[in-house]
Amino acid sequence: MSARKYSKELVDGPNQAASRSMLRGVGFETEDFSKPFVGIASTGAKVTPCNMHINKLSEVVEHSINLSGGKGVLFNTITVSDGISMGTQGMKYSLVSREVIADSIETVVGCLGYDGLIAIGGCDKNMPGCLIGMARLNRPSIFIYGGSIKPSDENTDYVTVSEKVGEFSKGSINEEELIHYEKISVVGPGSCGGMYTANTMASAIEALGMSLPGSSSQDATSDSKNVDCTNAGIAIMNLLEKDIKPSDIMTREAFENAITIVIALGGSTNAVLHLLAMAHSIGVELCLDDFTKIGEKTPVLADLKPFGKHYMSELNAKGGIQPLMKTLLEKGLLHGHCMTVTGNILKENLKDIAPYDTSEIIRSFDNPIKKDSHLRVLYGNLAKDGAVAKITGMEGTAFEGKAKVFNSEEEGVKAILSNQIKDGDVIVIRYEGPKGGPGMREMLKPTSAIMGLGLGSKIGFITDGRFSGGTHGFVVGHVSPEAAEGGLIALVEDGDTILIDADNDQLILKVHEDEIQKRQLNWKNPIKGPKKGVLAKYAKSVKSASLGAITD
């Protein structure tokens, strides 16, 4: 099959002279029209440190494509910042941006006849957004991770600052100390430095086979990241020549590999949402229960933040995730025959990888952080369609307490910071789901405040919203059906007993069924959503979190 499957329709023959004329206007030469066109989707923007350097990386990719016999064409898509918008109404746009990014990449590439695609992402939602766009288009594609930021000289990062807000509220530190941490903790480009959502998704995408080996484990400012970009330009030409497409790579077994890596690394609950959506976009059947099945045999091995001691940059210096993948393969926990963007199968990519020189960050199978998955899919009358918890066991594995109910994140944060939450409470924040938010806001602000106040192991927290990858503690998100859809979480009242049981994977409201039915008869949705604009469109089209909050 010709590597110019799409571009030739755009530029070949006398009838396409006007199209060629426009392209000459942006710098095309005559010889370029006979080369494969490769779109380069950059998420570069000055709106966030995660993406501030990505336009420069995209230029490295463009140069490599052009030297390798293709014609690279740069274009941009959006990014937003969870870290900046966290705890505000702006956070409602975060998950929505995943769909906007996927739509925009599909639109540009589909319109302009690019034969291949390289996308570069550096923040939580633009990575799965890029992959969803690639899957829909199903043209030879590679994803490049923008890389991780390094911690400060005092070993702090963005999540540190979030938790210091709780310490300030408690009176443990003063405002001057808080501002000190604010000033030093985020310096230079790169994504948040723990095994938060960005590094989780980058690792998952590499394990999926859609990034070159090592792409997920490089600092943003490193020489190795520039080499990654150069190699991607070369690799895309190989994929075009062999006609290796995302559908050849993003198979059911490849998604199982991605889930395995997420668990072994102690990754974010957001990976559940995003991997479900990515699988849907490529036509692979994946469900919540797959995370449970894989989790039964996969231990948590990485001592990485938020619950561990180390940052991603420390793991990068030790060899990144490749030695971990080699170990998991040898233990029979990865499918080695899956195709990857190198043009080789995973087993071939890993054959010469040396083991870690120490087990300080990645533990051995004999000494895991947890013998099975920290990602727990809970069911019960409070979550008939499922809920997702991140429970390492450090905070215990079961919690029962009395509900303190709030109809928005703002209400919950106000109560936490004014010391209204006590030992034994279960915070319930609802009407923050995909439809109810709309947009399923992340709850790092309340959970960080809880940790800063020293309540992490003393209270529970459930929501139909999401949790940041920086969250730790006894928390359960993605409760489905959500409150806005009449899920049982909408009927919880202050003082009700709630059981969170990660041993038996249950989320139970201990209220008699007769009382529940009485409340159901009196329930009316108190939330009036937006009437127009992107949030209104999203609320109309988005599906349950248990399906990945997909919109198509």
pLDDT tens digits, one per residue of 339-391: 999 999 999 999 999 999 987 999 999 999 999 999 999 999 999 999 999 88
Distance CA 363, CA 105 (A): 39
Catalytic residues: 468
Mean predicted confidence (pLDDT) in 72-86: 95
Segments making up each domain of the chain, as ranges? 7-155+186-350, 376-547
What dihedral angle (degrees, nearest 10) is formed by the CA atoms of 473, 478, 481, 485? 110
Domain 376-547 class in CATH:
alpha beta
Cβ–Cβ < 8 Å for 159, 309: no
* Better pLDDT: 181 or 359: 181
d(CA 379, CA 386): 5
| Mean pLDDT within 87-94 | 94
pLDDT for residue 391: 87
**Phi, psi of 294, deg, nearest 5:** -70, -35
The torsion of the CA quartet 279, 281, 283, 289, rounded to 10 degrees, works out to 30
**Does the bond joining 438 to the residue before it have cis omega, within 30 degrees of 0?**
yes
Name the residue type at position 395.
E
What pLDDT sits at residue 1?
Answer: 54
Q: E strand or H helix at 425, and its extent? A: strand 425-429
**3 state SS for 243-297:** CCCHHHHCCHHHHHHHHHHHHHCCCCCHHHHHHHHHHHHHCCCCCHHHHHHHHCC
Question: Which CATH fold topology does 7-155+186-350 show?
Answer: Rossmann fold (3.40.50)
Mean of pLDDT values over 104-114: 98
Report how far Cα 194 is from the mean position of its chain's Cα atoms.
13
Query: Quick one: pLDDT at residue 449?
Result: 84
Mean pLDDT lowest for which of 83-87, 371-375, 510-514?
Answer: 83-87
Would you list the DSSP string of 102-121?
HHHHHHHHHHHT-SEEEEEE
Kindly tell me if the per-residue pLDDT of 394 is higher than 80.
no
> Average model confidence (pLDDT) for the chain?
95
Question: Quick one: pLDDT band at residue 163, thresholds 50, 70, 90?
Answer: confident
Q: Is the pLDDT at 450 greater than 60, yes or no?
A: yes
Radius of gyration of the chain (CA): 23
Q: Which token pair is 498?
A: 């709630």
pLDDT score recorded for residue 46? 96
- pLDDT of 166 over the 90 cut: no
